Amino acid sequence: MSQSPKLAETVAQRAPRSRRAFVLHFVEMVVVMFVGMGVFSGLAALAFGAAGSSLSDQSGAFRVMLMGVNMTVPMVLWMAFRGHSAPRNLEMAAAMLGPTGVAAALVGAGALDVMAGMAVQHVVMIPAMLGVMLWRYDEYAHRHAGRRGGR
């Protein structure tokens, strides 16, 4: 028998918190982010190639922003799949796209080259994600069954 969404939400809120669940959740999110980065960056390279261009022909600021989007979209989709609410998904997206925007602006202004901009983006994004997770510890410190079954 299936639980109602309201009951499932209540059960998730009452689920015991654990550091292990929190750490596993963080690792899962980072893995999804990096897999998405590889997959979507590859697709972008194919799309630009099909259009007679390449990623390296694009501005550095655009490349940094594209990298951030390539990591954020799969992360938010995964979080939605795992049962996180839209406000939590938006918070995580902001934690990821904030550093991306700053890094892209620095690259666009010429203060950093593209590789340094991407390094700054990644180095700041991971602690920003962790910060959101710590801020919402109760949300991330229990198992999420997702929409298609348990874990």
Q: For a pLDDT cut of 70, what percent of the chain falls above it?
A: 83
Amino acid present at 16? P
Least confident of 88-92, 99-103, 111-115, 136-140: 136-140
Does position 143 have pLDDT exceeding 90, yes or no? no
Q: How far apart are CA 122 and CA 78, in angstroms?
A: 19
Residues 6+ apart with CB under 8 A from 39: 70, 74
User: For the residues 36-43, what does the mean pLDDT come to?
Assistant: 93
Which residue in 21, 22, 12, 10 sits closest to 134, CA to CA? Answer: 22
Q: What is the pTM of this model?
A: 0.78
**And the tokens for 80?**
């939605």
**pLDDT at residue 139 in the model:** 85
**And the tokens for 64?**
């940094």
**pLDDT at residue 21 in the model:** 87
